[in-house]
Structure 1
């Protein structure tokens, strides 16, 4: 079964995109005096231009320019202007495959570029696993790896290898997260969590589905039901501080994914993942129910304190009442 892609087509394209503004082109492809000194050691304008263009591609985006691939025109012009040669010199250089291969070897020797090896792959997975404990977004992991390889002057492998390393890191991080949430659980905890997937006494819904129901209207009946839900979550008596054992981003992601699954789907998970998902659902569910109880309380109070509305038209039809003095001295004054 093919591995599920963690990068979209647009994300894959963005990872190796060339600069598209003048400022970015200048920042990435302006040569130092040392660079120019080395480039000028090549004989003839075509060799100097070709050597320099290959150097640019190795530095950013960090790849080898394909034999049949023409250089990016704005990049080619910027390089030609710095070397004071014509851009047409590339046409002559592009036909010399042997020269291009020799220059590539020289560039790796002189500037320290390294090919991507299995050792780099293992280091990449280790690096990304630590990051995947915080986020499982493929584009974030792949971008981090590519930037790391550029800083190490490692020639980028095919994007499939970058994606494979990122996916492997996510898998390893997931295992560590599942273990962190499931290992502290006792047998009693596990039994109570498994009971969430069973149907309630009325047989209509599972305990988990009932616990995740939101109140429809702010009234006392729904308030009491929600208090019962909170008590049921608290009765799980999960280990203290278990919510701090994993990064909040990953905890919320696991809870969100678990909430979209049926109890039957959750029951099919292998044990560690199932208990970790149920723990995440319990932590998120307890917080949600608490917030909803507070909101219900506020809405019920607001409905009780709002005075009944009286239409203006009905008030206007009432006869005006004569003001009556409320104290004895005022009445006496009126009689005099």
Structure 2
């Protein structure tokens, strides 16, 4: 089973310290409280106290015990030694010289802190990964990261990267296969044959029927509107509107339809029966809605850019034709208004009393 989704760099970073740690990160993740100091106190020698503290803090930060505690970053060892009042952090090089010391300490820490072994939760994690993969369709790396988070939240020691990657890959493949089989089983033999017929290239044509019906309108014109309506009618006429695809999560159906809309018909033909039928069904279900939306969008553009624009142009021309008449009428009105104004002024002046000389 392929687990190559982890690059060499990602595999190296898994459960490992970063290149550097800031003082803030040290204070946040590697501070020893009173309970921690109580665990460390009964270790007799400085290198054992420091080694125990390194393992205690490292498992909290990494989610697993370091294969070699002596390889802890220098700043971590120095910060822990500072808290334990150990003046020579280099004494850590003597930790684990006696066989079994580091392993014994790891067992004590695991029991005291309540960390569980991965083998105890493998079945539970598999069920969780299966449900997540079935619902979301996340890629393997996203599922891998989610599994790491799941384990850390439940204080489960992280397994090796390859072991966890194999479990993620297995659960994801099982969920995907179940998706294909579920959609395949919704169809009868005639419907599966009809879907396969979409991949055939009719005689005298260069493209398959699927290529033709998934191609949206590209022009804004009356003939294009007719083609869009015929396309929608053809897709709806395939008879898959009554197939209840709600038995699978919408995200998984959308994922399949994207592949079916973009993939080449020749490639789709090479898939197994269940995957091919599932992909084509999801594609047709998507196109049923998409084709109607495309036709409505095209109609909207035609109305706004063709019919309404033409009406506006005709109205503008009519306005231009009336402008000369409007100008003449305005001149006459202005002249009449001037005469009325003069008459009003004359009438007012005639009513005013005349002053005696």
Pairwise same-fold verdict (TM > 0.5): yes
Q: Which aligned pairs between 1:80-119 and structure 2 lie closer than 5 A? A: 80-86=81-87, 87-93=89-95, 95-117=97-119
Q: Which aligned pairs between 1:1-336 and structure 2 lie closer than 5 A? A: 3=2, 5-13=4-12, 15-16=14-15, 18=17, 20-67=21-68, 70-86=71-87, 87-93=89-95, 95-117=97-119, 120-133=121-134, 134-200=136-202, 202-238=204-240, 240=242, 242-304=244-306, 305-306=308-309, 321=324, 323-325=327-329
SS state at 1:7 partner: coil
Structure 1 residue 121 displacement after superposition: 3.1
Q: Deviations over 1:99-153 (max 9, x none)?
A: 2233223323333333332x53333222201000112322321122222222333
Structure 1 residue 168 displacement after superposition: 0.7
Matches of 1:17 and 1:63, distance apart in 2: 9
Structure 1 residue 69 displacement after superposition: 5.5
Return 93-102 or 128-137, whichever deviates more: 93-102
Structure 1 residue 82 displacement after superposition: 2.5
SS state at 2:329 partner: coil
Matches of 1:192 and 1:292, distance apart in 2: 24
Q: Deviations over 1:46-100 (max 9, x none)?
A: 1111001112222221122122861023322332232222322323326455422
Change in Cα spacing, 1:68 to 1:26, as seen in structure 2 (3 Å) is closer
Does the CA-based 8 Å contact 1:185-1:239 persist in structure 2?
no
Return 70-79 or 13-22, whichever deviates more: 13-22
Gaps of 5+ in 1: 310-319
- State the aligned residue count: 322
Structure 1 residue 226 displacement after superposition: 1.7
Structure 1 residue 214 displacement after superposition: 2.2
SS state at 1:325 partner: helix
Q: Which has the larger share of helix?
A: 2
Structure 1 residue 302 displacement after superposition: 2.4
Name segments (4+ residues, structure 1) moved above 6 Å. 329-334
Does the CA-based 8 Å contact 1:185-1:238 persist in structure 2?
no
Q: Which has the larger radius of gyration?
A: 2
Return 250-259 or 209-218, whichever deviates more: 250-259
Task: Give TM-score scaled by structure 2 length.
Answer: 0.79
Does the CA-based 8 Å contact 2:54-2:80 persist in structure 1?
yes
Does the CA-based 8 Å contact 2:3-2:166 persist in structure 1?
no
Change in Cα spacing, 1:330 to 1:54, as seen in structure 2 (3 Å) is closer
Change in Cα spacing, 1:74 to 1:258, as seen in structure 2 (3 Å) is farther
Structure 1 residue 256 displacement after superposition: 2.1
Q: Deviations over 1:239-261 (max 9, x none)?
A: 64634222222222222223343
Does the CA-based 8 Å contact 2:47-2:92 persist in structure 1?
yes
Q: Deviations over 1:178-211 (max 9, x none)?
A: 1332222122322221211122354221110001
Matches of 1:94 and 1:222, distance apart in 2: 79
Matches of 2:192 and 2:142, distance apart in 1: 34
Gaps of 5+ in 2: 314-322, 340-357
Matches of 2:260 and 2:219, distance apart in 1: 26
Structure 1 residue 22 displacement after superposition: 4.2
Does the CA-based 8 Å contact 2:220-2:298 persist in structure 1?
yes
Structure 1 residue 282 displacement after superposition: 1.1
Give the alignment's Cα RMSD to 1 decimal: 3.1
Return 300-309 or 183-192, whichever deviates more: 300-309
